Each structure stands twice: as structure tokens, then as C-alpha cells.
Amino acid sequence: MLEMTTTIEARETDRLSALDRMELMDTVPEPEFDELVETAAAICEVPISLVTLVDDRRQWFKAAIGLAISETPREIAFCAHAIQQPELMLVEDATNDPRFAENPLVTGENHVRFYAGMPISSPDGFALGTLCVLDRVPRKLTTTQVAALKVLGRQVNARMELRLHRLQIERALAAAEEARAKLAASEHRFMTFMDSAPFIAFLKDADGRIIFYNQMTADTFGVTREEWLGRTDHEIYDERDAARFRAHDMDAVRSNSLRIMQEEWVDKDGVVSQWCSYKFPCAGADGSTMVGGFWINVTEQLRSDTELRRQRAEIEAANVRLSELAATDSLTGLANRRVFDERLAVEFAQAKRKKRELSVMILDLDGFKRRNDLYGHQQGDAALRQFARLLEEATREGDLAARYGGEEFVLLLPETDDAQAAQLAERILEKIRAARWEDEPLTTSIGAASLDAAMASDQRLVSLADEALYAAKRAGRDRFVLYKEYYKQVVEQMGASSS
């Protein structure tokens, strides 16, 4: 009996989560739902028709005709019974039905006698409410009316799903527009920096074709900003210079490191200038290797070896900083997802080969979207930064903390088994709970998984931790779930169900 009660409670929790995901409760009237209740009332020849949604304490009317109220307590709702049934629920005379004979909707001023409710469901099959028709006198439905009410119920399901898809598309479009604007702003900043820089800068593809150069390059060589794009050194310089430049490019590619060289340039007037060249390999979006380069005019500076060494040190430091920025999440200062994935691949291979422990932990901030909506993205960003600092304080030397995306973070835990991961998770939960947060407290849900001998890929480890995270979310948030324990519970529940 206890297991059955637990299963029912879990099912209701999942149903309420599905209702929340549909984003329909307490929304404004919408014509597509109003039309359906009007049609249902007309077909069934009744004065009252509703589209209802049932949460943990009330039934709320998304669309209504014939009733002046917008909701009722759940405990007196006919629909609270209807959602427990897979098909249409009929009450031809409520005064003769022991479930409803003393119901205030029957005995009170609404004087309900007849009820027919078709459950409406989320796309994943959870009953959320009903499309129902009511009358103040007892009555029966014809076979045609019953069939029509079922069809209209399915239409409500379809329109709820379409509405959810529309909301998702609108948000995706808004996110894409925001990303486009950020990308445009980022590109503008990059171009402003490059075109204001006192050095030649260029980028070449794997075949040596120029795909970018800055304004100083164009000014130095007397070309337009587009004239050299797509051309190789052999199409621009004489054969001797072209061969020399290409050899330097390939040296940087083969060594996979920054190469600092001396370049000499003779302009069309025969004036010789000396340039310090910095060339380095870059990864293209398609995985190909490109060559980036900076040329700094050192004709005058060569008179001072000290000055030349200083400039070299500055450029090297700048390249180190660029490498650090490429590996760091700009908001939180933690490692980014690319760094995490690369480190995970290495640690996974070593752990498999040397039979060492390895765990992955995924953390998601609870209710973060609501927090952003209430207090704004600036306050949300501050909370993300504070959370990142607390995460760094809680982790150990050798662990890797990274921002995985949005409000989701991930920990890579070498030489860590299930018990150690659980201890760390509890330490993190307590640290987050004890912290002082601006506006309101913040909590996190955590899922973790550990390596076993049968695991074939590093991404499988991440997937299992993600499953455990969502189990923590479903269980009420602000908690930690270990995948092996979660899997054990699922197997036990399946065994109990089959028996």
C-alpha cells in the first residue's frame, strides 16, 4: 500500500510538472480555446462548456462559456475525477451520483446536474484537465455528441501542443536575434580593435589563402580591404618572398606553436623595413588548421635590443592571455565547455587505462529563469558569478569546475568514486544554502555519475550525470542524486510493478 501511495504521489508530481511545462495556467483568453468551448456547447446543446486545467489546489478555466466564475477549489471539481480516467466521464444526473450529490456545485447556485468531461493531455501523456460540458438539468448525450466531444478534446490537445511549440519558436527566435546582435557587437569590437592596432594582422586558411587582414595591412601595402582576400603569397609577392613567407607559415603549423621571426620588406620605392613576425596555428570552425600572424615594424627599435625584448615579451603575454580567454567563460571566469570536453576525454582515457576512479557532477540552479524574470539579467549574472566562486571554493585541487551553459555547471572529478562524489555534493549544497544571496536564497540540484568498467565513452558519463540531475529536479530540487542509486530505485520500482 505504501509503494502504491508513493507511485501515485510520484505520478501526480510528474503530472503537475507537465502542467507547468505547458505554461497555460492563469494566462489570458485565447480565441483558439474559446472557439472550442463554443463549438462543444453548440453540439451538445448545453449552456455551459469549459476547458479546465487542474493543479494541486484548484481547477482553473482556460476557456469558459455559461459560467461567471474563473476557477473552483480542486476538492469540489468534477474534472479532478475526470482526469483519473482515460476516456470520457459522464454524469447524467449529479443528484443520483454519490460522488457529487452533496457537492456545492450541485447544491449551490450553479445547480449543476449534468457533466461530461473529456480528459486533455500534455504531449507526454499526462492528464492536465478536461474539455467538459455541463447543464443545470439531467440529460443524456447522443452517440454523435459523445464522438464529437472526444474529437474536440483531441483538438484541445493539439492546440495546446501547437501553442507550446509556438512559444518555444518565439523564444528561440528571440534568443537567435539576441545571439546575432551579440555576435555583431563582438565582430564590431574585434574589427575596431584590429583596425586601430599599430601592427599588421592577418589570417590565412590551410591552403595559404588570405581570409582576413586589418587596415594597417592595407595601408602598409597600398591595397584595398578586399583586394588580397582569397589570394596566396605566390599571387601577391615575388617568388623569393612568397616562398619565404610560406615556409615560415608552415613552420608554425608543423611546430604547433608561436613562431617569432625576422621579416624584411622592400617597398616599391626600394625602402627596406624590418618587421618582427609572430605566426601561430589556429583551429578553424571546420577543424582545419589556419595560420594567424602579426607584423610589428621594428626598423627603429632594432637599435635597442632592450626595447625589442620588451616588445617580444608583451606580444607573448598577449598571446598567452588570448589563449586563456579562449579557455575561460567570460561571465564566471570558470573553464568553458570546450575545455571541459577536452579534459574529460583525457581523464576518461587515463582512468580506463589505469583503472582509476572518475566522476562527473552536473549542477543546475533551481528556478533561475524565474529569478531572471523577477530581478533582471544583471542580478542573474551576479548570482552566476557568486555561484562560480562558491563552487571553486568547495572543489579540490585537481578537480575541474566549468560553466556548461546557461545556469548549468559541471565538475570533473578525477580519482573520485561514488562516496567521495556524494560527500563533495553535500558540501556544495550546504555551502550554497549558507551563502548570503542578493534578493532571495538560491539553491541547486546536482546529479553525479561515476565511471564503471563497461562504460564505452566519456559522453556516456556526462549523460548519466544529466539523468541523475533531472531525477534530483523531479524529486523536488535542492538535492543531490547519484546515478547508481537512482538506477537501483528505478529497477526496484520496475520489479515491484511487474510483480
Q: How confident is the model at residue 76 (pLDDT cuts 50, 70, 90)?
A: very high
Matching residue, cell 486545467: 53
pLDDT of amino acid 280: 86
pLDDT of amino acid 490: 84
Q: How confident is the model at residue 5 (pLDDT cuts 50, 70, 90)?
A: low
Q: How confident is the model at residue 311 (pLDDT cuts 50, 70, 90)?
A: low
- Most confidently modeled range among 214-228, 272-286, 322-336: 214-228
Q: Which of 169-173, 407-411, 489-493 has the lowest mean pLDDT?
A: 489-493
How do residues 45-64 score in pLDDT, each as one tens digit? Answer: 999 999 999 999 999 999 99
Q: What is the mean pLDDT of residues 472-498?
A: 87
When the candidates are 3.40.1790.10, 3.30.450.20, 3.60.40.10, 3.30.1490.20, the CATH number that belongs to 197-326 is 3.30.450.20
What ranges make up the beta strands (E) of 399-477?
400-405, 408-414, 444-450
Mean per-residue pLDDT over the chain, rounded: 88
CATH class of 337-498: alpha beta
Is residue 323 over pLDDT 60? no
pLDDT of amino acid 320: 47
Q: How confident is the model at residue 287 (pLDDT cuts 50, 70, 90)?
A: confident
Q: What is the mean pLDDT of residues 377-396?
A: 92
Q: What is the mean pLDDT of residues 104-123?
A: 95
Phi then psi for residue 42, to 5 deg, are -65, -45
CATH architecture of the domain formed by 2-167: 2-Layer Sandwich (3.30)
Task: Return the half-sphere exposure (C-beta side, CA atoms, 13 A cut-off) of residue 383.
Answer: 28
pLDDT of amino acid 193: 83
Q: How confident is the model at residue 310 (pLDDT cuts 50, 70, 90)?
A: low
pLDDT of amino acid 77: 95
Q: Do domains 197-326 and 337-498 have the same CATH topology?
A: no
Q: Which of 101-110, 127-136, 266-275, 382-391 has the lowest mean pLDDT?
A: 266-275
pLDDT of amino acid 251: 84
Higher-confidence residue: 317 or 467? 467
Is residue 317 over pLDDT 70? no
Q: How confident is the model at residue 241 (pLDDT cuts 50, 70, 90)?
A: confident
Strand partners, 263: 275
pTM comes to 0.45
Q: How many whole angstroms separate alpha carbon 325 and alpha carbon 198?
A: 22
Q: How confident is the model at residue 424 (pLDDT cuts 50, 70, 90)?
A: very high
Query: What are 139's three cell numbers?
Result: 440529460
Residue 374 vs residues 370, 385, 435, 438: alpha-carbon distances, Å: 6, 18, 20, 12
How do residues 143-180 score in pLDDT, each as one tens digit? Answer: 999 999 999 999 999 999 999 999 999 999 988 888 88
Domain extents for the chain? Answer: 2-167, 197-326, 337-498
pLDDT of amino acid 242: 83
Q: Are 131 and 88 in contact (CB under 8 A)?
A: no
Cα angle 168, 174, 178 (rounded to 5 degrees) comes to 140
pLDDT of amino acid 312: 62
Q: Which of 203-217, 307-321, 329-343 has the lowest mean pLDDT?
A: 307-321
Is residue 324 over pLDDT 60? no
Q: Which of 17-31, 154-168, 188-202 has the lowest mean pLDDT?
A: 188-202
Q: Which of 51-55, 91-95, 298-302, 349-353 has the lowest mean pLDDT?
A: 298-302
Q: Which of 239-253, 300-314, 360-374 has the lowest mean pLDDT?
A: 300-314
Q: What is the mean pLDDT of residues 388-402?
A: 92
Query: What are 330's three cell numbers?
Result: 567570460
Strand 480-482, strand 444-450: pairing: parallel
> What is the sign, positive or negative, of the torsion defined by CA atoms of 128, 133, 138, 141?
negative
Q: How confident is the model at residue 322 (pLDDT cuts 50, 70, 90)?
A: very low
Is residue 404 over pLDDT 70? yes
